[in-house]
């Protein structure tokens, strides 16, 4: 859900245009105070903020930033921006965030994969060293060989295709 904060006459039209572009419902608030209340009640994917409203309620304007959470913030001056421009700016910012999120997930997966590879390598080396222990009981040797086989299988699965 998207929160639209604006008091201009065409705010309803803008809400409709944002809904159409984003395929998400849009809630309209005409005051910063009402917007803060909504942000405290629920999580929004994005907040589209009219800079005119922010300027007219400067004493409460900073409070909106404290309650954004993970919401995407799009600021626009509705006095000079057309509805199409506000929607385009929302789409641009949303697309950029989606790309950043995808990059973050990709890097996290790569880091996790590398960490698993490092642990698997250490596990294999430990198994190989343990198997070289003189007079290792047969049962312990068999268990170490099982662990080594599992580590090798894991290592094989972690290898790039």
* Amino acid 37: pLDDT: 92
User: By C-alpha distance, which of 38, 31, 74, 73 is closest to 54?
Assistant: 31
Interatomic CA distance for residues 142 and 108, integer angstroms: 36
Where do we find the tokens 């909504």?
38
Interatomic CA distance for residues 24 and 1, integer angstroms: 5
* Amino acid 61: pLDDT: 73
Q: Judge whether residue 160 has pLDDT over 80.
A: no
Interatomic CA distance for residues 73 and 49, integer angstroms: 7
Give me 90's structure tokens: 């929302």
State how far Cα 46 lies from the chain centre.
Answer: 12
Helix (H) or strand (E) holding 116: helix 83-131
* Amino acid 161: pLDDT: 63
The single-letter DSSP state of residue 79 is T
Q: What is the rounded average pLDDT of the residues 136-154?
A: 91
Residue 9, Cβ density class (10 Å: 0-12 exposed, 13-18 middle, ≥19 buried): exposed
């Amino acid at each position: 859900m998207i929160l639209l904060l604006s008091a201009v006459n065409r705010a309803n039209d803008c809400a409709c245009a944002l809904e159409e572009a984003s395929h998400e419902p849009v809630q309209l608030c005409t005051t910063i105070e009402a917007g803060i209340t909504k942000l405290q009640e629920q999580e929004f994917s994005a907040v589209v903020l009219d800079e005119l409203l922010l300027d007219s309620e400067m004493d409460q304007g900073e409070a909106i930033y404290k309650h954004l959470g993970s919401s995407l913030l799009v600021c626009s001056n509705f006095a000079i921006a057309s509805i199409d421009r506000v929607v385009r700016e929302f789409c641009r910012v949303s697309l950029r965030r989606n790309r950043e999120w995808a990059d973050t997930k990709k890097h996290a997966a790569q880091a996790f994969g590398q960490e698993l590879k490092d642990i698997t390598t250490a596990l294999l080396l430990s198994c190989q060293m343990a198997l070289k222990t003189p007079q290792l009981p047969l049962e312990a040797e068999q268990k170490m060989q099982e662990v080594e086989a599992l580590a090798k299988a894991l290592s094989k699965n972690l290898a790039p295709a």
